[in-house]
Chain A
Amino acid sequence: MSETSSANHLNHLRAIEALYSGHHGWLYATLKRKLGNAMDAADLAQDTFTRILASHITVIDQPRAYLSCVAKGILINWYQRKALERAYLDALANVPTHEAPSPEAHFVVLETLHEIDAMLDTLAPQVKRAFLLSQINGLKYDDIAEQLGVSLITVKRYMKQAFIQCLMLVE
C-alpha cells in the first residue's frame, strides 16, 4: 500500500507541476483583471496553488475550470479578510498605545481574528453579536439579553448555536 501511496504522491506533484506551468499565467492574468491589482492577484494565485498542493489531486481534466473553482473559494475568503483587516487597522488607530499588541503580535492576532471571523461568518448577526459580547467582552447573558432586547432564553439559544458552529469548525 505504501508503494501505491508514494506513487500517488508523485502523480500529485506531477499534476500540479503541469497545472502550474500551463495555467499559472492565465490565472494570474484573470485575477489581475478582476481585482485591478497585480500584487493581490499574485498572492491569490499563489494561495490557489498552495491549497491545491494541500489536496491529494492527481488527475485534472479541464484544468482552467478546476482552477477557477478553487480560486473562487479563495477569493470570497480573501474579500472577507480584507474587510477584517481594514476594521482592525481602523480600531488600532483609536486604541491607546499601551493596549495595542506589539508589532510582532499583530500577525498572530490577525490570523486568529480571521479564523474566528470565518467560523462565525454563517451565523445570523444577532447570534454572532451575542457570542462576541460574551466571549470577547465578557458580558453575562443577562446583560447581553438587555443589550440586544431579547429574552435570556434566546441568548442561551444563540450561545449554544454559536458554540456548536465553532466546535464543528475550529482546528
Chain B
Amino acid sequence: MLGLRKEPPLAPQVLEEAAEWLMRLSERELSEHERAEWERWKVSSPEHDRAWSRAQLLQSKLGGLPPSLAMSALDRPNSPERRAALGKLAILLAVMPVGWGSWKLAQSQQWSADYRTDVGQRRELTLADGSRITLNTETAIDVVFDDRQRLIHLREGEILVQTAVDTATLPRPFLISTRQGRMQALGTRFTVRELSPRTHLAVLDGAVSVILADNRQTPPLIVNAGQRTDFSSQTFGSLTPTDRDIGSWTQGMLMADKMRLADFVAELTRYRRGFLRCDPSIADLRISGAFPISDTDRTLNMLVHTYPVLASSHLRGYWVTLSPA
C-alpha cells in the first residue's frame, strides 16, 4: 500500500539503473561481459542490493501468473468515466504551448491577490468552469480565466486543485504557476505548495506536467498519480510515492504517522500565530494521530495528554515551548 512503506525511497538514479537492467534481462540473454557487469552493479552498493531485491520480488510476482488470464484481467477496458477523462487529457496535451506569455505577465505584475486566507484559515472555491480549489492556511492566489487558458497563480501557501472538464467550445488548458515553474493539469486532483525557493507538488489523480520557470531547456516532467516531487526554478527534485494522508488538511486534519515531533511542530506552526518551539531533546519523539488544525490549542492539549511532553505557554499563548515531561 502507498504510504505504508517502512524503508526509505530509493534514489532516482538507482531506480533508473535497476530498470535498465530489468529491461536488458527481459529482452535477451546477457553476454558474458554484460553478466559480469550486472553482478558488479548489484554488489557495488547497499542501495543497489536493495533495489535488486525489489526487482526480484517484482519478477517473481510477474512470473507466477497464467499469461492469458493475467492479460485479460489487467488489460481490461477502462470504465466510461475514465475514458472521458483520458479523452480530455489528449485534448489538453494538444494545446500545451499556449499560455506561457500570460504566465510571465502574471508573474511580472504585482496584482493584489484575488483570493487569500489568513493563518489557520481554510477556504474552498468553485471556479467559473466548475473546478474546485481549496486554499490552506496563509495562501494567496490569482485567478486568470480567459478564452485561451484557465490560470491560477499561486503567490504563497498551499492549494488542492480538483479540475473540471472545460465546457468552453475550445477546451482551455488548466495551469498553475508559481515562482518556480508552471504546472499543467492533465485531468486531475493534486496539491501544490509554494515554499520558496521550491514548489512542492503531489498528485492524487491523473497527472500533472511541469515546466521550470528559469530552465526551459529541460523537458517537462510528467508527475503521475501517487507521485510527488519538488522543484526550484532551475531543477527538479526526485519523484517519490505520495503519503496516503496527503490532502488531509482539506478535511481540517493534520495526520501524523510516526512523525518526528520537530517536524510535527513545524507543520503545526503553519496554522498558528506566534511562536511554537520544541526542546531539541524531544525533537525525535514520534507522534501519531489525526489532529485538528483549526484549533491548535486543542492539538497541543491532545499532545500533552498522550505523549511525555509538557507545554509551557507565555505571553497569553503567543509563545509556547514543548519540553520533556
Contacts and interface: CB of A to CB of B under 8 A. Distances in A.
Interface in A52-107: 54-62, 65-66, 68-69, 73, 83-84, 87-88, 90-92, 95, 99-101
Contact of B251 (A68, A120, A125, A171): A68
B104 to A, nearest CB: 30
A88 B23 contact: no
Interface string B53-83: 0110110011011111111111110110000
B155 interface: no
A99 B71 CA distance: 14
Contact of B66 (A109, A128, A140, A169): A109
Nearest to A127: B224
A99 B19 contact: no
Contacts of A154: none
Chain A at the B interface: mostly helix, strand, loop or mixed? helix
Query: Which of A56, A92, A137 has the most chain B CB atoms closer than 10 A to its own CB?
Result: A56
Contacts of A40: none
B71 A136 contact: yes
Given A61-B292, A170-B58, A156 B257 contact: no
B241 interface: yes
Contact of B288 (A4, A55, A117, A120): A55
A57 B225 contact: no
A91 B68 contact: yes
Contacts of A120: 74
Interface string B13-32: 00110111011001100000
B291 A61 contact: yes
Interface residues of A, number: 66
B303 A59 contact: yes
Contact of B289 (A60, A95, A132, A171): A60
Contact of B27 (A108, A141, A168): A141
Given A87-B76, A122-B225, A123-B224, A60 B26 contact: no
A137 B71 contact: yes
Contacts of B27: 140-141
Interface stretch (B3-11, B105-113, B310-318): B3-11
A77 to B, nearest CB: 8
A117 B292 contact: no
A99 B68 contact: yes
A69 B66 contact: no
Interface in A116-132: 116-117, 120-125, 128-129, 132
A54 B306 contact: no
B65 A113 contact: yes
Contacts of A129: 75
Given A120-B74, A132-B74, 20 more contacts: A55-B288, A57-B289, A61-B253, A62-B252, A65-B252, A69-B251, A69-B290, A83-B79, A84-B74, A91-B72, A92-B69, A101-B66, A112-B64, A116-B61, A123-B224, A137-B67, A156-B23, A166-B58, A169-B226, A171-B57
25 contacts: A56-B286, A58-B288, A59-B302, A60-B289, A61-B302, A62-B290, A62-B292, A88-B72, A88-B73, A91-B73, A95-B68, A108-B64, A109-B70, A113-B74, A120-B74, A136-B67, A140-B27, A159-B19, A160-B19, A163-B19, A164-B19, A167-B22, A168-B10, A168-B241, A169-B241
Interface of B: 1-2, 4-5, 9-10, 15-16, 18-20, 22-23, 26-27, 51, 54-55, 57-58, 61-62, 64-76, 78-79, 86, 207, 224-227, 239-241, 244-245, 248, 251-253, 255, 257-258, 285-286, 288-292, 298-299, 302-303, 306-308
Interface of A: 4, 8, 11-12, 15, 51, 54-62, 65-66, 68-69, 73, 83-84, 87-88, 90-92, 95, 99-101, 108-109, 112-113, 115-117, 120-125, 128-129, 132, 134-138, 140-141, 156, 159-160, 163-171
